[in-house]
Structure formats: structure tokens, C-alpha cells
Amino acid sequence: MERVRLMNHVTTRRPLYFWLSITLLLCGIVSWMPYLAFKIQEPYGLLTLIINPVGMILGILSAKKWVALSNLIMIFSIFPVAIFVYLTKGYIPM
């Protein structure tokens, strides 16, 4: 009986989990803006390692696989952004 009550609680909260996951995805995208658009060298991009795993879990709870996958991609976005920053700064010779 307790399990059924718990499942009803999760299914009634799915729209909330979906919108929270979308919000965290957008926060992860915005956290890269100082590096990429404004060339401000502040460590805001590291916030993706904190907020996007939470967004991925909320995406899984909302039963929207594309939101969970998008947050997972944002977790690993640190590697292409770091390569881009190093290439544009001249740290990696080409």
C-alpha cells in the first residue's frame, strides 16, 4: 500500500520535475555564456558539474528521456568548451 502511495506522489509531481529539469538545463547553458560570448574568465562554467546532474535526475523522474539526455550532454560539455577556449587562446598550437 505504501508503494502505491509513493508512486502516486511521483506521478503527480512529474510536470514539476519536468519544468525544474528544463530550468536547470537552461541554467547550465547560461553558465557557459561568460566564457563563450563575453570572454570573461570566471569559473561559472563549472556550475554545469553541479546543477546538470540534478537536472538529469529530475528529467528521469519526469519520464522525459530527452530532458535527461540533454542534461547529461551538458555535464560533459566541459570538454568541448575547454578545447575551444584553449584553441582560441593559443594554448594548443595548430
Residue 47 pLDDT grade (very low, low, confident, very high; cuts 50, 70, 90): confident
End-to-end distance of the chain based on CA atoms, in angstroms?
Answer: 64
pLDDT the model gives residue 85: 76
Residue 8 pLDDT grade (very low, low, confident, very high; cuts 50, 70, 90): low
The pTM score is 0.78
Q: Averaged over 19-42, what is the pLDDT? A: 87
Q: Residue 36: name the closest of 94, 78, 8 by CA.
A: 78
**Percent over 70 (pLDDT), the chain:** 84
In a domain, 60, yes or no: yes
In terms of residue numbers, what domain contains 14?
A: 2-89
Q: Averaged over 16-43, what is the pLDDT? A: 87
Report which of residues 10 and 48 the model is more confident about.
48
In a domain, 66, yes or no: yes
In a domain, 9, yes or no: yes
Length of the chain: 94
pLDDT digits (tens, 9 = 90+) for 72-93: 999 998 888 888 877 877 666 6
Residue 69 and residue 50 in contact, taking contact as beta carbons nearer than 8 Å: no
How many independent structural domains does the chain possess?
1
DSSP class per residue in the chain: -HHHHHHHHHHHTHHHHHHHHHHHHHHHHHTTHHHHTS----GGGGGHHHHHHHHHHHHHHTT-HHHHHHHHHHHTTHHHHHHHHHHHHTSS--
In a domain, 14, yes or no: yes
